[in-house]
Amino acid sequence: MTHAYTPGLRINERTKVTSRRVLPLLGDVVVKKGDVLKAEDVVARTHLPGKVHAINAVNRLGIQPKDLKEYMLRKEGDSVTKDEIIAETKPFIKMMKTVLLSPITGTIETISAVTGQVFLREPPKPIEVHAYVDGTVIDIMDKEGVVMETTATFIQGIFGVGGETVGELAITVDKPDDILTADRILPAHKEKIIVGGAYIQHDVIDKAKEVGVRGIIVGGLDDEDLRKLLGYDLGVAITGSEEIGITLIITEGFGKIQMALRTFELLKSRSGSKTSINGATQIRAGVVRPEIVIPFDKASKTTESTDEPLGRGMEIGDPIRIIRVPYFGKIGKIKSLPFAPQKIETEATVRTLEVEFPDGFTANVPRTNVEMIET
Amino acid sequence: MNVIIATDCGSTTTKAILIEKKDGVYRQTFRGEAPTTVEAPFEDVTRGVLNAFAEVEELSGRKILDGEKIITPARGNVGVDIYVSTSSAGGGLQMMVAGAVKTMTAESAQRAALGAGAIVMDVIASNDRRLPHEKIDRIRHLRPDMILLSGGTDGGTVTHVVELAEYISAANPRPRLGMTFQLPVIYAGNKEAREKIKEILNQKTSLHITDNIRPTLERENLFPARQEIQKLFLEHVMAQAPGYKKLMTWTGAPIMPTPGAVGLIMQTIARKNTINVVGVDIGGATTDVFSVYGEIFNRTVSANLGMSYSISNVLAEAGLDNILRWIPFDMDESDLRNRIKNKMIRPTTIPQTLEELKIEQAIAREALRVSFEQHKSLAVGLKGVQRERDISEAFKQEISGDTIVDMLKLDLLVGSGGVLSHAPRRSQAMLMVIDAFLPEGITRIAVDSIFMMPHLGVLSTVNEQAATEVFEKDCLIHLGTCVSLVRNMTGKPGEKCISYIITMPDGKKIEESLPYGELRVLPLDIDRVAEIDVVPAKNFDVGSGKGKPVKAKVSGGSVGIVIDTRGRPITLAKDRASRVKQLRQWAKAIDAYPE
């Protein structure tokens, strides 16, 4: 059997989800191992270094760099306030005196006797990292952050924009192939994460933003609408830091595509639950897909599925989804895995598989154009 | 050494080739590929390598692996003698360079980094018109894999380069990978400033000092800096990428950045045949362009122009209309946009229908065109390793900034990368290359047969004989020769343009003429050479001047001799229906697609 590896998106009804909550710089972790936290709780804090300002002091004062330190009234490490005199010349006639004012409130970092520059730094900016999911701290990374764990329904989307947000899950459509229209967005959806069906358009996203919806999960949208939402043509899929006032996750792809039935049913079954979502996508090596995490209450107990990815090759009978035209979005089962590469319509000779669709129709598809799905 | 296995771990796929010595000659015999597994859930590059090996094992019948260990040495049909690899996975090598003067040391630093196989994220210079705090912010936010700092000739200015070091120190930058590591900084500037640089950067960065890349104004010395970059790439960057520590223990030679290896092979072709070469390697995330004109080697990388991860950026940079102009059927703009994005989010998929193939090839033309434009604008009087130049030349470069890539002096154009190497018909690759690069006069065109230039580049560092033999016999596929008008030569469709006589190797003569706006193919086998006498009409030029005849030897290939009178730039009809008709006509002339 060919050792073909086909990545698929994860969809788990109930699984252990771990989430690394890491500071961008070293700082303080404010929780301890075993703490049970809410998504909104702070787990770690640090200070981002302030912005640096450089002043060409010698030009302003009309002196030589090597002499600069003699003229400085403040030394490296001193705190200064905006418009405070930090250096001055000492002429015989006082009127001829030139002064150097601090452009900011902060500290003097470096005084350079080579270039004659003075570097000042603004005060550090505090930043906090939140737990993001309701769960338990299972590991502490000293000065860096924590690892949270929760038992949750876990679904990966294919693409998203906007960062982390938390809210109650609400289903707005009846079927996975429904289109999410503006009239389905109600004032009651304020601060919620809403689930649509196959498609959403830009004006509907606008309506959701007006209402105060925190996040949208939908099958597909048009690239043109994405451009309208972002205000520019997205070149490289590295997202998550957009400030667009909402987080949007698409589960299937671009265009009008029915949300996978299993995804839709799973979301529907968790309607009303507190949900954490993150649109951050990075389609590069070290891929990051957008995620939907719906933790279970500690009390409810059913069996957990394994959190391990399917680490084996494709086998006959495995359910798959086709991820490129002409059968884009269709689900079927592997009927055969021909050993020899086959010629396809483009005349390329590639490794293919034969897929059987639920209606009995079969087709040959390149192996790279399918993803394995969990039953 | 009789059996060699080599891989290239690309951003999308890991490609393995098997090379075996048979009857005293090295030949590439089997290949296998698998998705690269740098990303979750595996986060270990060796998984993809093992999968690619497994495919080679299956197809060749040779047992290469014992569990997850490579069997060495080779005995009979078991094992291999050496394993070598290149890599561009994990985003390749991402660098930031800094130099005192934008067009002098900063440009030299850029060349040093590019030549070593890096993507240059930004060039910081004392005179780049950004305010100090903007430079500092930029350094802080970019998070490169390493920084190359240069500035000043030896004994020259100290102030500017120290100022740049102060900016780097103030930014206190951190590397892209590994939170607790210090960012490697290579100092290759004025040697008089070394002590000051150490004072400023030694505590905050992992500082490495090497020879000045511009010891005098007239001389460039890029080699030591390039070597240091490649060494640090292995020690710092690769060692941080998932699985590479393990992979490095498997290989019999240091892993090279893919573009560095391709550059080696391009230079070998040019040197061995004494010709000018332009090469392109179009990948999933990036497109590299190489040019060798005489002794001058240049490489540029268009970091975000590629056919999978970066496909959407081709749309953003080239524009929708420029892509649509190459699509030979009516297509809805919204549909095209969605298809491009769907390829971006599922980058490993391939076109299954003919229509999809034509769309991808239309996008490829634009990715190639824009990358080549970028190359031409950076390859301005660039000088290779240790090349001397006098002061007047140095000034000329700064003032004129003329590209050294003269299409009329180009002898060979080589295409590589999935969309060209794996095009189902070779004529598709030929047409894509001609449309994107617009060769002028007489130009030979070839492709890398199955994308093995990186493998052969790294192999050449340990076994040049094997690399050269495989390159000549199995790697380069000559497509033929393109005969075309020169730059700024356009006319009206149907207008009298050229007439020519081709004397075939058997002495047979073909005498024809071709009006403006057409394409014609005359079959001529690989390894056969014919002679052509072209007489352009009085308003047209094929290299010797308007109306002046050109006599040249033309080499055959799997496509043949392509006579191209479509103009430079190619004249495309303005209305969609006529343009579609034109594109179909040209595709038919070169037999690009099935009827």
Q: Residue B316 and residue A235: Cβ atoms within 8 Å? A: yes
Nearest to A366 among B285, B341, B352 (CB): B352
Nearest CA in chain B to A370: B349
Q: Where in chain B is the domain with CATH 3.30.420.40?
A: 3-80
The whole-chain average pLDDT of chain A stands at 90
**Choice among A204-213, B83-92, B247-256 with the minimum mean pLDDT:** B83-92
Task: Report the distance separating Cα B277 and Cα B293, nearest Å.
Answer: 7
Mean pLDDT in chain B? 89
Rounded average pLDDT over A290-319: 73
- Which pLDDT score is estimated for B137? 81
Please check the confidence at residue A150 and state whether its pLDDT lies above 90: yes
| pLDDT tier, B380 (very low <50, low <70, confident <90, very high otherwise) | low
Best mean pLDDT range from A132-146, A274-288, B113-127, B149-163: A132-146
| Mutant choice from B345, B354, B420, B593 vs A, greatest count of A C-beta within 10 A | B345
The pLDDT of B60-73, averaged and rounded, is 92
- pLDDT at B52 exceeding the cut of 90: yes
Q: In the structure, what pLDDT confidence band is assigned to residue A310 with cuts at 50, 70 and 90?
A: low
Residue A74 has pLDDT above 70, yes or no: yes
Across the interface, which of A7, A234, A235 has its CB nearest the CB of B35? A7
pLDDT of residue B139: 86
Cβ B277 vs Cβ B269: under 8 Å: yes
Q: Which of A145-154, B38-47, B64-73 has the lowest mean pLDDT?
A: B38-47
CA distance B544 to chain A (A): 40
A&B contacts, CB < 8 Å:
190
Question: Does B44 have pLDDT greater than 50?
Answer: yes
> Which of A155-159, A355-359, B391-395 shows the lowest per-residue confidence on average (mean pLDDT)?
B391-395
| Dist. CA B382–CA B397, nearest whole Å | 8
For B8, B107, B225, the CA distances from B116, given in Å and listed in that order, are 17, 14, 9
The answer to whether A326 and B353 have CB atoms below 8 angstroms apart is yes
Report the share of chain B in percent with pLDDT over 70: 94
Q: Please give the pLDDT value at position A1.
A: 31
Question: For residue B418, what is the nearest residue in chain A, using CA coordinates?
Answer: A348
- Structural domains of chain A, ranges and CATH numbers in brackets: 11-46+129-295 (3.50.30.10), 52-121 (2.40.50), 319-372 (2.30.30)
Strands B13-22 and B3-9: antiparallel
Is the CATH number 3.30.1280.10 carried by domain B3-80?
Answer: no
- pLDDT reported for residue A4: 41
Q: What residues form DSSP beta bridges with A319?
A: A333
Q: What average pLDDT does this structure show over B215-219?
A: 81
Confidence (pLDDT) at B406: 94
Query: Residue A232 pLDDT more than 80?
Result: yes
What CATH number does the domain located at B90-245 have? 3.40.50.2300
Nearest CA in chain B to A282: B345
Q: How close A99 comes to chain B (CA, Å)?
A: 21
The pLDDT value recorded for residue B473 is: 87
d(CA B466, CA B252): 15
pLDDT digits (tens, 9 = 90+) for B103-129: 788 888 998 888 877 888 889 998 888
pLDDT of A36 above 90: yes
Using CA atoms, how far apart are residues B345 and B351, in angstroms rounded to an integer? 14
Structural contact between residues B564 and B484, judged by C-beta atoms closer than 8 angstroms: yes
Tell me the chain B residues in contact with residue A54 when contact means C-beta distances shorter than 8 Å.
Answer: 132-133, 136, 166-167, 170
For residues B408-416, give the mean pLDDT.
95
B359: closest CA of chain A, how far (Å) = 12
Closest Cα in chain B to A24: B179
Containing B248, the helix (H) or strand (E) segment is helix B244-250
> How would residue B396 be classed by pLDDT, with cut points 50, 70 and 90?
very low
DSSP-assigned beta bridge partners for residue B413 = B278, B445
When pLDDT is cut at 50, 70 and 90, the band that residue B222 belongs to is confident
Task: Please name every residue paired with B14 in a beta bridge, in sequence order, or none if there are none.
Answer: B9, B34
Q: Which of A104-118, A119-133, A239-253, B394-408 has the lowest mean pLDDT?
A: B394-408
Residue ranges of chain B that CATH labels 3.40.50.2300: 90-245
Query: How does DSSP assign B329-391, residue by residue?
Result: S---HHHHHHHHHHHHHSTT----SHHHHHHHHHHHHHHHHHHHHHHHHH-SS---TT-B--H
Give the least confident one: B145-159, B238-252, B484-498: B238-252
Q: How far apart are the first and last CA of chain A?
A: 21
Residue A6 has pLDDT above 80, yes or no: no
User: At residue B438, does pLDDT exceed 80?
Assistant: yes
Q: Is it the case that residue B399 has pLDDT exceeding 70?
A: no
pLDDT 10s digits, B530-545:
999 999 999 999 999 9
Q: How far is CA B276 from CA B363, B379, B449, in A?
A: 27, 14, 20
List the single residue in B133, B172, B346 with the smallest CB-CB distance to A54. Answer: B133
Of B213, B236, B118, B83, the C-alpha closest to B161 is B213
- For the stretch B126-167, pLDDT in tens is 888 888 888 888 888 788 889 999 998 898 878 889 999 999
Q: Which helix (H) or strand (E) holds A109?
A: strand A106-111
The radius of gyration of chain B's CA atoms, rounded to the nearest angstrom, is: 25
Average pLDDT over residues B397-425: 83
Question: Is B136 close to A346, i.e. CB distance below 8 A?
Answer: no
